[in-house]
Structure 1
Amino acid sequence: MARVYLSLGSNIEPQRYLPAALAELRQAFGPITVSPAYRSRSVGFDGADFVNLAVGLDTPLSPAALNDWLHALEDRHGRRRDGPRYSDRTLDLDIVFYDALVIDGPGHLQLPRKELKHAFVLRPIADIAPDFRHPISGQRMAELWATFPVEREPLTLEPLPD
């Protein structure tokens, strides 16, 4: 079993789609660890605010198989892939860490995810895995968050329905 940390985000009806994704993750993988949810501005395009959170779970799936499973989950909830890569979306599910693996490809599969440089990915992971060490830098998530320039990418807590 691998310990995996995921980033989940939505800027189209996040109060609907994020709880639905969490329910499917629990059904497929059993107990999961869920961070608080945070609202932030969209990055890479001019769109509605995103709500993001992180999930920790254990899986027997390979990184590629898990990535395919997550894409299928996005698709089941209306994720569109026929527009620009950076656009509004019902769900965006990414593997940020898969144990301590470092992978660059195939396709968009990269571990750890480069989006960890953004508050909306780093903060939720630091909340649920403060002692997890980045497989390249060796820094703990809590250390990375403590040195993050929070004024650059402000976050606000966003309650989600259970």
Structure 2
Amino acid sequence: MARIYISLGTNISPEQHLKAGLVDLQQYFGPLQLSRVYESESVGFKGTNFLNMVAAADTELSIAQVVATFKKIEQDNGRIRGEKKFSPRSLDIDLLLYDDVICNIPVELPRGEILFNAFVLWPLAEIAPELPHPVTLQTYGALWQDYDKQRQQLWPITFEFPAELLPVKY
């Protein structure tokens, strides 16, 4: 059984897509551990603000199967493949960590943006503060503490989680 950490982000009907994405993730992976939801300005392009969060789950699926599942959930929620890298998203789901695996195929793990984007690092540090990054070996709590908080604007928001989510730790 592998512990996976998942980044979710959306700026197109964000509350609707984030809720639907969480329900879908739970259907595939069971109970989720959830960070708070954060709002952030778009990065890399001018657009409406994003809602972002991190979830953790346990799975017996391979890395490739997890990524394929995420792509299916994104597609089911209106994600169009072939979009520009920096553009609005109905739902963006990325695998951040798969246990302590370090690889580049089928995806880069640990995901590089963990160290650079506040909207990934802060919610990850919230739910896994003592977990060490597999490359730097620093804990996510320490990485967030040392992060230049002026680089990106990010703030926690009040979010009504879907009632159908199983009881989980928030």
- Normalised to the residue count of structure 2, the TM-score between the two structures is 0.91
Aligned-CA RMSD value: 1.0
In structure 2, the partner of 1:86 is 86
Counting aligned pairs with the same residue, the percent is 41
1:158 deviation in Å?
2.0
Measured against aligned partners, the alpha-carbon deviations of 1:122-158 in whole angstroms (never above 9, x if no partner) come to: 0000000101110011100000000011111121112
1:1-162 correspondence runs (5 A): 1-106=1-106, 109-116=107-114, 117-162=116-161
Measured against aligned partners, the alpha-carbon deviations of 1:18-70 in whole angstroms (never above 9, x if no partner) come to: 11111111122111100001111111222111110000100111111100100
* 1:121 maps to amino acid: V
- What is the DSSP-based 3-state SS (H/G/I as helix, E as strand, rest coil) of the residue aligned with 2:150? helix
- What is the DSSP-based 3-state SS (H/G/I as helix, E as strand, rest coil) of the residue aligned with 1:47? coil
1:13 deviation in Å?
1.0
Q: Tell me, which stretches of 5 or more residues in structure 2 are unaligned?
A: 162-170
8 A contact 1:7–1:93 mirrored in 2: yes
Report the count of equivalent residues. 160
Q: Tell me, which stretches of 5 or more residues in structure 1 are unaligned?
A: none
1:86 deviation in Å?
1.7
- Normalised to the residue count of structure 1, the TM-score between the two structures is 0.95
